Amino acid sequence: MFTVVTPNTDKRMAEIVDKVRQGERLTLEDGVYLYESDDILTIGQLANEVNLRKNGKKVYFIENMSLYFTNVCESHCAFCSFRKDQGEEGAYTLSGEEMVAYVKQHITPGVREFHIVGGHNNHVPFQYYVDSLKAMKENFPDVTIKAYTAAEIEFFTRISGLSTKEVLIRLQEAGLESLTGGGAEILSDQYREKMKVEKANVDQYLDVHRTAHQLGMKTPTTMLYGSIESYEDRIRHMMQIRDLQDETGGFQVFIPLSMQPRNKNASIMRRNSAYEDLKTIAISRLMLDNIQHIKAYFINIGVQLTQVALAFGASDVHGTILKEQISHAAGAQTPEGLTLKELIWLVKGAGRIPVERDTFYNEIRVYE
């Protein structure tokens, strides 16, 4: 039986609690109210109840590697510190053979997924991106390839002249099995204009995932929060994801990404608070009733707060990663990856059951 933590919970919060318990979908107004409320314990406990109903005490992770073939990018998004111009110091574009050599040097025996993203490099043809995946699949046939954001797919349509569906089919033939979730940022064209998001617009982002789902792929999706967006922008973002999930059923996990300050030495006043991070994870769990998992991404919020997030609605802690670069280029102060043992420790330390999974949430091993 659910009882609210704070005895003085107001009528509006009590109504939301009743709606969630009765399986009634939350509205835009409900979501904004939750963000404006300071009753984080009731919000967290309610999200925890929803998660326990969906997933029990199981918390999922995967042994994976993050790979970046190129950091050269035609876009100049205001929040990105990863991108470089062609010829700029630090710019690189690796061939498939070079990436294969890197992976052979760093891969561990349990890795079962490559998470591949990078810049929108218009100095190479679309075939370069196809061949990159082919090289990985030929050399590591048993490792699942989760590659490219929806924004990258939209970029590929422009440099190739192919449709979204044709691009995705070409990539599937090369070994692609799932997209990554990035590129969503905030699904508001007004936000994207202000933040100079020089890549896929809202409709294009959603259409790429819609098309991927129609082709049989399951995908993650994200929200990058903590800059100029309003609470209403965040909730509208979640509702657009929720609507597409009603249509396709193809999203496996929603990943709230806490904005980084572009400087590792930035003041704490330039970073999202732990309070804001936990509230966003919990509200994501409450709003996205049709998505199975909410991820607590330790790269952006830290290991210990990730543990706390498991009591606020999160059921996934991502994976081993090995040398994450994009958030760290933007000022993340967290580890660049964790070992299998550390992930198990993280989950058990929160009183939950660690479950090693594959890309599609099939359980590989339960660590009771």
Binding residues for S-adenosyl-L-methionine: 79, 185
- What are the phi and psi torsion angles at 19 (to 5°)? -60, -45
In the chain, alpha helices (H): 11-21, 28-36, 40-55, 96-106, 126-139, 150-160, 164-174, 189-194, 202-214, 231-248, 274-287, 298-301, 303-309, 326-329, 340-349
CA dist 276 and 252 (Å) reads 24
Going 188 to 190 to 194 to 198, the CA torsion angle's sign is positive
How many other C-beta atoms can be found within 10 angstroms of the C-beta atom of residue 227?
15
Residues 9, 43 contacting (CB under 8 angstroms): no
Cα 102 to the chain's mean position, in Å?
24
Residues 175, 137 contacting (CB under 8 angstroms): yes
Burial pattern 19-29, b for ≥16 Cβ within 10 A else e, equals ebeeeeebeee
Q: Which residues are annotated as a binding site for [4Fe-4S] cluster?
A: 73, 77, 80
Going 298 to 363 to 112 to 250, the CA torsion angle's sign is negative
* Closest of 361, 297, 368 to residue 335, by C-alpha: 297
CB neighbour list of residue 198: distance below 8 Å, 6 or more residues apart:
74, 75, 76, 77
- What are the phi and psi torsion angles at 267 (to 5°)? -60, 155
Compute the CA torsion angle 236, 238, 243, 245 (nearest 10 deg). Answer: 170
66: amino acid identity, one letter: S
How many other C-beta atoms can be found within 10 angstroms of the C-beta atom of residue 336?
14
Q: Which residues are annotated as a binding site?
A: 73, 77, 79-80, 185
